[in-house]
Amino acid sequence: MKKAWTFLKQLWALTAPYFKSEEKWKALSLLGVIIGLNLFLVYLTVVQNSWYRRFYDALEQRDQPAFWSEILFFSGLAAIFISVAVLQLALNLKLQINWREWLTKRYLGEWMEARSYYRLQLADYGTDNPDQRIAEDLREFVSSTLGLTLGLMNSVVSFVSFAGILWTLSGNFPLGIAGYEFQVPGSMLWVAVIYCLVGSLITHFIGRPLVSLNFRQEKVEANFRYDLVRFRENAEGVALYAGERSEQKHLLGRFGDIHDNWNAIIRRRMKLQTFVSGFNQAVVVFPFLMGVGQLFSGAIQLGGLMQIVSAFGRVQDALSWFVDAYTALASWTANIQRLTSFRAAIDRAKALSEDVIHDAADAGSTDFKVEDLALSLPDGTPLLNASFRLKAGEDALITGPSGSGKSTLFRAIAGIWPFGKGHIHMPASLPSQRVLFLPQKPYVPVGTLRAAVTYPALEGSIDDATLRRALADASLSGLVDQLDEEDNWQMRLSGGELQRLAVARALAQKPHWLFLDEATSAMDEGMERDLYAILKERLPDTTIISIGHRSSLKAFHQREINLATTGDGVSTIAAE
Ligand SMILES: Nc1ncnc2c1ncn2[C@@H]1O[C@H](COP(=O)(O)OP(=O)(O)OP(=O)(O)O)[C@@H](O)[C@H]1O
C-alpha cells in the first residue's frame, strides 16, 4: 500500500508540472479533446452493440429493406469511427511530442544547472546514463502515461456501462456455495468483481519482480550503447593499438548483461503469462459454471443465461485491465523510478555543500586571493592546502609533480570542484572582467568552425574578421577560409591544432584572466614560444596563469608557484 502511494506521488510529481506550466492551456485543451474523442469511441462501440441486435433481427425476419438500411447505418458508423480514431491518434501523438519537448527542456535545464552534469560524474550519486534518461526514458514516460491512463479510463467507462446491465440481469440470481444457496442482489456483478480482484492480486504477486528487471534492462541496454559510442569516438586509439579483440570482448560482455537480464525477464514473463492466459481462459466457462445449476433446474432459460454470460464477459474484460496491462505497467513503473531517481540525484548534486567560498575581494582589489584553501578528493581524502595571491598583470606558472592537484586547483578557482573548504576571493571587478580556462584537451562542439572558435560564446557573437585574425595568429592560417564548414573538428584536427584552436579562442575573446592547463603541451617548444609571444602582444591586459611541466615555460611568466608534496601525500602552496 505504501509502495502504491509512493508510486502515485512519483507519478504526480512527474506529470503535474507540464499541466501546470506556461503551456497548460494548450496541454489541457489537447488532453480534453483526446479524452472526449476517446469516450466518443467507447460510445460508438455501445452503438455498434445495439446495431448487432437490430441487424440480426432483420436477418432472422428476412426483412430486406431493414437489412440494407442497417448496412447503410453501419457504413456511416464505420466512417465516423475511422475519422474519430485517426483524429484521436494524431492529437495523441501531438500531445506526446509537446509534452516530451517540455520535459526534455526542463530536464536538460536541471541537468546543466549548477553544473550538475559534471558533479554527477565526479562522484557516485546512484544514477547511470543520464543521456538515456533524457533521450529515451522521457519518451517512454510520455507515451506510456498517456497510453495506460487512457486505457484505464476506457475500462472504467466500459465497466460503468455494463455493470448496471449485469446488476439488472443477475436480479436475485442465487449463488450456490457448499450446497447452500444465497440470494444476493447483483450477484453476478459481485462474482465478476471478486474474480478480477483476486486475479489482479495474484498477477501483481507473480509479476512484481518485473519492475526491477525492467529497470535493470534499461540500464544494461544504455551501458551497451554508451560503450559502442565510446568505441566509435575513440576509433583511432583502438585502431592504433589494434585493440579490436579486446573491444569486441568487452562489448560482447556488455551484451552478455543484456542477455542474462533478458533471460530472467523471459522466466518471469512465462510465469505471468501462464497465469494471465489461465485467468482469461477460465473466464470463458466460469459464468456458465455459476449459472448452469439454475439452467438444469429449469429456473432460467438458455437465452437468459447467454445474456448474463455476455454481460459478465464485458464487465470482466473491463476489470481485467490490470491483469492484461501488467507487463506494460511494470515497464512504466521502472521508467518512473528511473526518472525519479535521476531527479533526486540532480538535486543531491546541486545541494552538495559548497564549503569553498567564492566571493568578491575587498573593493578595489584586482587580484585572486586564495585563502586557507583545503581541497580533497570526492571520497574526502585531503589533496591540497593552499594560500596565495594571483596578482593582476603578473603572469604566473604553477608547477608541481604529476597528480599533485594542479588541475584540481584550477577547477576550484573555476568554481566546479565542490570538495573541500576555504576562500577564493575573486577580483572585485569580476564578472565584467572575463576569465577563460583552457584545458589540456580542448572541447570542440560538432558544427561550423565559426562555432568552434567562438565557443563558449554563442556562434555569431564575434565577427568573422576577428575570428580569422585569431586563427591566423594561432598559426592556423590554413583554416581561415573554412569558418562555414561543418565538421567534427575534435576528431579532424590534430592534438596540437586543437590546442592552437583553443588559443585562437582566447585571442578572439580577449579575457582578462587566462588560465592555461598544459594548454600548449602538444606543441613543439618553438610553436609554444611563438604562441605565448602572440598572446602577450595581442592581449596586453590579460594575466596569464599557466600549469606546465616544461622548464622553457618559465621564461614567459614573471613568477613561479610550486606545489610541494609533503610526506602525507598532501600538496601545499604557501607562497604569498
Ligand atoms: N573525480 C575524481 N575522483 C577521484 N580522484 C580524482 C578525481 N579527479 C582527480 N582525481 C585525483 O586527484 C589527483 C590530482 O589530480 P590533478 O588532475 O589535479 O593532478 P595534476 O597535478 O594536474 O596532474 P598532472 O600534472 O598529471 O596533470 C590525482 O591523483 C587524480 O587521480
Look at residue 193 and tell me whether its pLDDT is greater than 60. Answer: yes
Task: Please tell me the residue having the least CA distance from ligand 1 atom 13.
Answer: 403
Which pLDDT tens digit goes with each residue over 522-536?
888 888 899 999 999
In the structure, how many helices (H) and strands (E) does the chain have?
A: 19, 15
pLDDT-above-90 percentage for the chain? 42
Which pLDDT band holds residue 360 (cuts at 50, 70, 90)?
low
At residue 310, does pLDDT exceed 80?
Answer: no
Tell me the fold of 356-575.
Answer: Rossmann fold (3.40.50)
What is residue 430's predicted lDDT score, i.e. its pLDDT? Answer: 60
Provide the mean pLDDT of the chain. 87
Q: Does residue 456 have a cis peptide bond before it, meaning omega lies within 30 degrees of 0? A: yes
* 8 A C-beta contact, residue 287 and residue 166: no
Residue 165 has pLDDT above 90, yes or no: no
Q: Whose CA is nearest to atom 1 of ligand 1?
A: 122
Going from the Cα of 406 to the center of ligand 1, the distance in angstroms, rounded, reads 8
- Residue with CA nearest ligand 1 atom 14: 405
Ligand 1 contacts CB of residue 119 (under 6 A): no
**pLDDT for position 177:** 62
Q: Is the CB of 405 under 6 A from ligand 1?
A: yes
The confidence score (pLDDT) of residue 176 equals: 63
User: Nearest residue CA, atom 30 of ligand 1?
Assistant: 403
Band of residue 173 on the pLDDT scale cut at 50, 70, 90: low
Domains 1-351 and 356-575 share a fold: no
Q: How far is the CA of 559 from the centre of ligand 1 (A)?
A: 24
Residue 396: pLDDT band by 50, 70, 90 thresholds?
A: very high
- The closest residue, in CA terms, to atom 7 on ligand 1 is 377
d(CA 8, CA 16): 11
Mean pLDDT of 46-54: 78
- pLDDT of 247 higher than 60: yes
**CB 378: neighbour CB atoms within 10 A?**
13
Give the model's confidence band at 574: pLDDT under 50 very low, under 70 low, under 90 confident, else very high.
Answer: low
Whether residue 243 is predicted with pLDDT greater than 80 in this model: the reply is: yes
Contacts of 303 (CB under 8 A, 6+ apart): none
Q: Whose CA is nearest to atom 6 of ligand 1?
A: 377
Model pLDDT, residue 474: 93
Domain ranges of the chain: 1-351, 356-575
pLDDT for residue 274 = 94
For 63-80, the DSSP string reads -HHHHHHHHHHHHHHHHH
- Which of 117, 122, 407, 561 to mutate to test ligand 1, by most ligand atoms within 8 A of the CB atom? 407
pLDDT value of position 570: 81
pLDDT given for residue 100 in this prediction: 96
How much is the pLDDT for 426? 81
- Report the range of poorest mean pLDDT among 309-318, 417-426, 456-465: 309-318
Q: 39-48, 93-102, 418-427, 562-571: which range is least confident on average?
A: 562-571
Q: Which of 46-60, 209-223, 351-365, 434-448 bottoms out in mean pLDDT, i.e. has the lowest?
A: 351-365
Which ligand 1 atom is nearest residue 384's CA? 14
Q: How many CA atoms lie within 13 A of 42 on its CB side?
A: 20
Q: Is the pLDDT of residue 265 over 90?
A: yes
Task: Tell me the best of 408, 521, 547, 563 to mutate to test the pocket of ligand 1, counting ligand atoms within 8 Å of each CB and taking the most.
Answer: 408
pLDDT of 175 above 70: no
Query: Across residues 354-375, what is the average pLDDT?
Result: 76
Higher pLDDT: 213 or 548? It is 213
540 phi/psi in degrees, rounded to 5: -65, -20
Percent of the chain with pLDDT over 70: 94
Residue 205 has pLDDT above 90, yes or no: yes
Q: What is the mean pLDDT of residues 136-158?
A: 92
404 lines ligand 1 (CB under 6 A): yes
For residues 97 and 320, the model is more confident at 97
pLDDT band at 171 (very low <50, low <70, confident <90, very high): low
CATH number at 1-351: 1.20.1560.10
pLDDT band (50, 70, 90) for residue 350: confident
What's the rounded mean pLDDT across residues 492-519? 92
Which residues have C-beta within 8 Å of that of residue 39, sequence separation ≥ 6?
A: 153, 157
- Least confident range from 76-90, 178-192, 215-229, 507-521: namely 178-192
Task: Estimate the crossing angle of helix 495-509 against helix 464-473, to 10 degrees.
Answer: 130
Residue 287 near ligand 1, beta carbon < 6 Å = no
Q: How much is the average pLDDT of 127-156?
A: 90
pLDDT (tens digit per residue) in 88-126: 999 999 999 999 999 999 999 999 988 888 888 887 777
Does residue 416 line the site of ligand 1, with CB under 6 A?
A: no
377 lines ligand 1 (CB under 6 A): yes
Q: How many CB atoms lie within 10 A of CB 340?
A: 17
Residue 179 or residue 558, greater confidence: 558
Q: Where are the beta strands (DSSP E) in 220-321?
A: none
Q: How far is Cα 95 from Cα 280, in angstroms, rounded to an integer?
A: 33
